[in-house]
Homo-oligomer: A and B are copies of this chain.
Amino acid sequence: MGENIGAAARAMQNFGLSDLRLIKPRDGWPNAKAETMAAGAFENMPAPKVFETINDAIADLHTVYATTAREHDQVKHIFTPDKAAEDAHENIANNKSVGFIFGAERTGLRSEEISLCQGIITIPTNPNFSSLNLGQSVLLVCYEWMKASNMQKARHLKTGDSTIATQEEIGHFLDRLMTDLDAGNFFRSEGLRPTMERNITNIFTRNELTEQEVRTLQGILSALRGNKTTHQ
């Protein structure tokens, strides 16, 4: 289907791939529906190559992964998409050319086609609702491809221009807060005071507050105290 070719091209471009090969496209090539679905992806990649047979399409490759809905009864390495992506990157690091093959929407890949491949990719899904369409399968494999390419930190705290506050800065704020709370008779029982102070301290230290945020908290205290002064 033209739509699937467009969705595949878009997913490839999203995740940094550009060598698209088509094997006997049902709706012919080029295809207007593919253009629409691609949302501009074809403009950023070389023209797809069209082949008559799978053998021709993979002739120059060393390692080919066949994406299938179920584990076929063939003696073959079976990968989840993430493991296949890692394996593909290792192969490339060893000067091999790799490819990922996807079958047609309804029929998938035939057993003879799968037998040409070095590995099988199956995407784990809910067994009670497992149908992924072709575009979704391509998206997930391309996504894992890019993930395996990235060595970037997976989680970080974005702090903009501000840096994380030091213990001292947080300490100054907490000292002021405790003093103000004392003045407001917050600590009704001296026996409970140590626990309450510890609980309050935890609220503000568990977080990684930025310097700017500590200044904001200082401003909040001033505003709340200023409020008092105004009305005195």
What residues of chain A have their CB less than 8 Å away from a CB belonging to chain B?
Answer: 11, 13-16, 39-41, 44, 71-80, 82-83, 87, 120, 123-126, 128-132, 136, 139-140, 143, 146-147, 150, 152, 154-160, 162, 177, 180-181, 183-186, 196, 199-200, 202-203, 206-210, 212-213, 216-217, 219-221, 223-228, 230-232
Contact = CB atoms under 8 A, between A and B. Distances in A.
A219 B186 contact: yes
B231 A75 contact: no
Shortest 3 CB-CB contacts between residues of A and residues of B: A184-B227, A184-B223, A228-B228
A131 B41 CA distance: 10
B200 A220 contact: yes
B184 A230 contact: yes
Nearest to A228: B228
A127 B53 CA distance: 34
A124 B152 CA distance: 10
A15 B216 contact: no
A209 to B, nearest CB: 7
Nearest to A7: B136
